Amino acid sequence: MSFIHLIQNKCPKCHKGQVFRAKSLFTFRPTAMQNECSQCHHNFSKEPGFYWGAMYVSYGLATAEMALVYLCCIALGTNALDFINLVVCIAVVLILFPFNFRMARLLWLYLFTNVIES
């Protein structure tokens, strides 16, 4: 799995076409996935319910982000059981939700493209 192609929103098979209609993963506008790659015509919809597993990846990303934000809050000198830490962690996860959604789907697609194609 190429991390650079993943961040660039590229097809996991040919690394040329876009998986999402928006080119950047860091946009806050809602975006839809392409049905297939514009270059190699690789199908991004493997089967019904294929992306349900991406929910677990999204959960892991959000948990890691919350842990990092919490550690940053503690390093900045806030109390360990402070309500502000909770609010800041939730705000960061809500702000990063569009990124997490796209990244989780891309990771899931990258993880299972070579397994299913072989």
Q: What is the pLDDT along the chain (118 residues), one digit of tens a residue?
A: 578 888 888 888 888 888 888 777 677 776 788 888 888 888 888 788 888 989 999 999 999 999 999 999 888 877 767 888 889 999 999 999 888 988 999 999 888 876 454 4
Nearest one of 110, 91, 93, 14 to 53, comparing CA atoms: 110
Let me know: does 91 contact 70? Beta carbons within 8 Å: no
> What whole-number distance in Å separates Cα of residue 11 and Cα of residue 18?
6
- The residue written with tokens 């950047």 in the block is 24
> What whole-number distance in Å separates Cα of residue 76 and Cα of residue 10?
37
> What whole-number distance in Å separates Cα of residue 25 and Cα of residue 102?
7
Domain ranges of the chain: 3-117
What is the structure's pLDDT at 1?
Answer: 54
> What whole-number distance in Å separates Cα of residue 17 and Cα of residue 34?
10
User: Is the pTM here over 0.85, yes or no?
Assistant: no
